[in-house]
Amino acid sequence: MKKIFVLIALLAAFSCDYVEDPLGDVIVVDPTCVEPTFAQNTNTKRNVLIEDFTGFYCNNCPRAAYRIDTLKNNIGKQIIPVAVHVVDQFAAPRPADAPKYQTDFRTPGGNDIWTAYGGIIGLPSIMISRIDTFNNPARFQVSDLTPFNDQVRQLIDDVPVVNLQVKANYIASKSLVCAYAETEVLATLADDHSIVFMLLEDSIIDWQLYSGAGGYPFYSAGDIPDYLHKHVLRRSMNNYLGETIITGGNNVVGDKTITSSSYMVTESTWKPEHFEVVAFVYNNRTKEIMQAYKANVD
């Protein structure tokens, strides 16, 4: 019996990893990047980040993309869409279908977002500024697109608690994307807040499967060889959780913080002229995105 307890104790000792610092080391910006100057931020509106979980083999996903596109056309730059390609079944390259569906739009950061916040509902599904649609356990993802417009329109009238402006540039000689953000506290915040930088590529022409549902006026049902993939997430530049920049209970209105991030592009098929950088600030406790900003990469 004594031996058995020793065996159990050994198993316990060797089979448990207690993690005390889940976030590990902070990612720093490349020293080549140069910090820009920011003018006074006069924005008074809250921007809404719409993360669209999608995949080129998800035949109903163009329907969701079209709805988001229509909303953006109607509302304007307050709407910031990000297409996050996830789920192997819908987004993994399909060698058997070559030359169709060979581009892998999945990203480690996108997969992290899907596993952390999505995953409960299938595709297509979206998150609207990661608002918790169901408290405890939190749930951020919605699949029913019917009330989608109303939810977004409610948010765009909110008074922002944080302001944000972003500048980004591409250093071709080093294939380096540099991004800087200025965050300004507009209302005293009780919770910690973090900033995340995302690198997007817009207007990628590639294959997409489409069921024909949803009334997309430009495409017919079937395999579409020249589908316009918009705002595709290419990289979570400072990981999907980002970096904490505001300490809850220890901030005052007018506090400003400059944060930076960079990414060395090694993928030859990416087109820097189509790059966009999206930065957003979220509440660490509720996960809600309080402000977002999209900048073109100069």
Partner 1 sequence: MKKTALAVLLSVIYTVSYTQNSEEAQIHGNIQTDVQYYNPDTLIGAPPVPEKMLMNGFANINFTKGNFSAGIRYESYLNALLGFPEGYQGTGIGYRYATYSLDGIEVTAGNFYEQFGSGMILRAYEERGLGYDNAMDGFRVKYNPYRGVYLKGVYGKQRLFFTQGPGIVRGIDGEIVLNELSDSLDKLKTRVVLGGSFVSKYQEDDNQSLVLPENVGSYAGRINVYRGGFSLSGEYVEKINDPSADNNFIYKKGRGLIINSAYSMKGFGASFTAKTIDNMSFRSDRNEGQQNVFINYIPATTKQHTYNLPATLYPYAVQPNGEVAFQGDISYKINKKKKKKNADGSKPFNLRRYATYISVNWSAAYALDSTSLTNDPTLQGYSTNFFRPDKRVYFSDFNIELKRKLSPKARFTYSYFDMRYDKDVIEGKVGEGLVNARIHVLDFTYKINTQKSLRFEAQHLGTNKNDGYFEDQGNWVTGLLEYTISPGWFFAVVDQYNYGNKDEIQRIHYLFGSVGYIKKANRFTLSYGRQRAGIFCVGGVCRVVPASNGISFSVTSTF
Q: How many Cα atoms sit within 13 Å of 102 on the Cβ side?
A: 8
Determine which residue in the list 57, 101, 105, 117 makes contact with partner 1, applying CB under 8 A.
117
Determine which residue in the list 24, 31, 99, 217 makes contact with partner 1, applying CB under 8 A.
24
Q: According to the binding rule CB under 8 A, does residue 218 interact with partner 1?
A: no
Q: Order of strands across the sheet with 256-264? A: 162-171, 176-185, 256-264
30/191 with CB nearer partner 1: 191
Determine which residue in the list 31, 96, 98, 144 makes contact with partner 1, applying CB under 8 A.
144
DSSP secondary-structure letter at 160? P
Q: According to the binding rule CB under 8 A, does residue 252 interact with partner 1?
A: no
For residue 4 the two structure tokens come to 């058995």
Q: Which residue has the tokens 């050994």?
A: 10
- Where helices occur in 175-267 by DSSP H, the ranges are none
State the nearest-atom distance from the C-beta of 117 to partner 1, in Å: 7
State the nearest-atom distance from the C-beta of 278 to partner 1, in Å: 17
Q: According to the binding rule CB under 8 A, does residue 28 interact with partner 1?
A: no
Distance CA 268, CA 281 (A): 30
State the nearest-atom distance from the C-beta of 42 to partner 1, in Å: 31
For residue 223 the two structure tokens come to 């395999």
State the nearest-atom distance from the C-beta of 134 to partner 1, in Å: 5
Q: According to the binding rule CB under 8 A, does residue 159 interact with partner 1?
A: no
Contact criterion met (CB below 8 Å) for 101 and 91: no
Polymer length of the chain: 298
90/293 with CB nearer partner 1: 90
120/205 with CB nearer partner 1: 120
| Amino acid letter, 89 | Q
State the nearest-atom distance from the C-beta of 13 to partner 1, in Å: 9
CB contact set of 246 (below 8 Å; sequence gap of 6+): 162, 183, 185, 189, 192, 193, 255, 257, 281
Strand pairing category for 256-264 and 243-246:
unpaired
Determine which residue in the list 16, 39, 96, 252 makes contact with partner 1, applying CB under 8 A.
16
Torsion of CA 246, 239, 65, 224, to 10 degrees: 170
Q: Find the binding residues for partner 1 in span 50-109 (CB under 8 A).
A: 89, 108-109
Distance CA 6, CA 132 (A): 46
Determine which residue in the list 30, 191, 223, 255 makes contact with partner 1, applying CB under 8 A.
191
Q: According to the binding rule CB under 8 A, does residue 289 interact with partner 1?
A: no
* Interacting span for partner 1 (CB under 8 A) from 163-171, 184-192, 198-206, 274-282: 184-192
Q: According to the binding rule CB under 8 A, does residue 248 interact with partner 1?
A: yes
Q: According to the binding rule CB under 8 A, does residue 142 interact with partner 1?
A: yes
Strand pairing category for 204-210 and 222-229:
antiparallel
- In which element (H, E) is residue 197 found? strand 193-201
> Interface with partner 1 by CB under 8 A: which residues?
1, 4, 7-8, 11-12, 14-24, 89, 108-109, 111-112, 115-117, 119-121, 133-134, 136-139, 142, 144, 147, 190-192, 236, 239-241, 244, 247-249, 284-287
